[in-house]
Structure 1
């Protein structure tokens, strides 16, 4: 199957070979610790920072929950900023661990409106933490985390950003963005196997952890156990195979102009669908990693998705209320190459003809006219 969905993404052969290595005992070999810490520095390099980065053994959702566990204390008010399906999910973690989640909902078809958020904060800014999503994959939106987090910093609010679907595919400067906790996943734009969470913390976030009144109510999800473990190199046995794979995937990402490549294919994808007569779901703040396209009213996402799968291509349909209303194309990580998208558009032309979905022009021909090659 060709993967042109919003992740997990295809994995490079070199990354697969790296994952096959079994070299040592990560618990006991001091050389492994050196290798591991150097790999973590590559995460920081990807984010243009020297801030502390580390990995956790578990898919990206682990990092989202762990960020609340580690940074929030019982009774604290947390501002949950969201304009998509995943952003609202932070409220559950806040509730699970005894915090007070105050939801701030914005339009799901637009990026977070900074002026409206500032008006809200002028009236109520008594929050210890604010959470948000960088790229909302269900709706194909990317929020301006630098503008939003800089605003929140004015009110001394610590910021947690889910960048699982953006890290590696969007340009990120951790320091200038004023993010305190940035969370990524191995299986999206970086194109390593699923199973690792990537975490980068500011000094302010580490100070918040150090100055807690109560202990962090977890061992596995305790951030400090990962960046300052006093009793062993790591808080648990690392999966060296996944770490070797991530190390190689980071090398490939850092050696290329990855963010610009994502931007190029995102622009091309939007151009193809709009010129073919489709409406994009977002109205602005378009993601560079996934494009969400509205399906004509008399059709549904599942029929397009299943017809493409029969041709050997996997794309995504909607999530939640949008489940049958949109299709999502992932221009993400190792999925991005000209041949993959040629095959995608050729197959979509066939599927649309089979389903009697009218287009202004062949998607394949429109793609060939874009400047991605």
Structure 2
């Protein structure tokens, strides 16, 4: 192992740019008292909206991405509601567990982990089960699969089905159809390249109407108090004390994305992904799902993934294995956010080549 700093090339958390780390160290303001923080927060939400590409309201919750997933389910779903859960991976299926936990009736629409979703098959499922809400995952990170939901979202829109989409591992690295999604979820530690600790949500007017109409069943995970905070004097009335330092860090990360330009950021991710897969093929490795691979993470089909991960770590690079049934058959390189850069990909693949040799 050389004397360079260890390179973390996992699919979240990512390495942090220096200015993001510095922003987190700023002296904090009191969000409940100081008007200056309200001004900062209003500007911050404006930046986040530009990255999301949406005019919908935005909510930022303290906690990593799972907080946003559960808050969405807790706020939209009443006991007895039918929820269609699109699943071609562990996180898509996991939505069903959250739905059950909050009293809903999950119906799993499952396809192979290497396949996408057929809009006509989804339409048949909607006609058969008449769901109130549908859940889906844009990027199934454990297998590196990016799902195309354009046609699927049209089906749900025509049927009046509200949608929750986990875009935690894609938002900020690839285009997400946020304007067609009722609640779109992101997280600070993925393509934003900020520290873990914040979940981000865009919430449509239709979603707000449902949230406000159903009986509250959760205190901390209820989204309703986050609507119409107001940023004029006196300071914004946050439901709870916000994670100020995490917000400073994410604000700096958003500045980086916007300064580069969102279109340019997407192109950079695409180049990094293509280069990673080219290097992998030179080593005899193929992506787990070659036809649906995400620009933010490459999941290579391997044997003994955990042993490979440990050996790569001795070269000063941290990679990740798959999860669940793919924990030993998938090795993942996260080229998202700050790590979507050819030099970083090359260092990771050089380390992998060294241990394979």
TM-score, normalised with respect to structure 2: 0.93
Number of residues of Structure 1 aligned to a counterpart in Structure 2: 345
CA contact (8 A) 1:47 1:173 kept: no
Q: Deviations over 1:116-170 (max 9, x none)?
A: 2233334x14111000001000111111133221221111100000011011011
Note the 1:304-319 alignment, pairs <5 A.
304-319=308-323
Counterpart in 2 of 1:217? 217
Distance 1:104 1:312 in 2: 41
Counterpart in 2 of 1:268? 275
Distance 1:283 1:118 in 2: 26
Q: Deviations over 1:239-294 (max 9, x none)?
A: 21111111110110122221111111112222222343223211422111111111
Q: Verify: 1:144 aligned to 2:148, yes or no.
A: yes
* Aligned partner of residue 138 in structure 1, secondary structure: helix
Moved more, 27-36 or 276-285: 276-285
Q: What CA RMSD, in Å, does the superposition of the two structures yield over aligned residues? A: 1.6
Counterpart in 1 of 2:254? 250
1:287 to 294, 300, 307: 294
TM-score, normalised with respect to structure 1: 0.89
1:186 to 188, 201, 204: 188
Distance 2:149 2:182 in 1: 11
CA contact (8 A) 1:27 1:237 kept: yes
Distance 2:157 2:19 in 1: 41
* Aligned partner of residue 36 in structure 2, secondary structure: helix
Moved more, 270-279 or 201-210: 270-279
2:198 to 196, 199, 202: 196
Note the 1:327-342 alignment, pairs <5 A.
327-342=331-346
* Aligned partner of residue 15 in structure 1, secondary structure: helix
Note the 1:82-97 alignment, pairs <5 A.
82-97=87-102
Moved more, 233-242 or 179-188: 233-242
Structure 1 residue 315: Cα displacement: 0.7
Distance 2:339 2:33 in 1: 37
Distance 1:242 1:264 in 2: 29
Q: Deviations over 1:49-79 (max 9, x none)?
A: 2210120011110000000100111111001
Q: Verify: 1:105 aligned to 2:107, yes or no.
A: no
Counterpart in 1 of 2:79? 74
Moved more, 126-135 or 282-291: 282-291
Counterpart in 1 of 2:60? 55
Structure 1 residue 218: Cα displacement: 1.4
CA contact (8 A) 1:3 1:314 kept: yes
Distance 1:345 1:95 in 2: 41
CA contact (8 A) 2:88 2:110 kept: yes
CA contact (8 A) 1:11 1:334 kept: yes
Q: Deviations over 1:313-367 (max 9, x none)?
A: 01111100010011011111111223222222222221001xxxxxxxxxxxxxx
* Aligned partner of residue 165 in structure 2, secondary structure: strand
CA contact (8 A) 1:77 1:128 kept: yes
Q: Deviations over 1:179-218 (max 9, x none)?
A: 0000000000000000000010111111111222x2x211
Distance 1:82 1:146 in 2: 16
Distance 1:328 1:23 in 2: 36
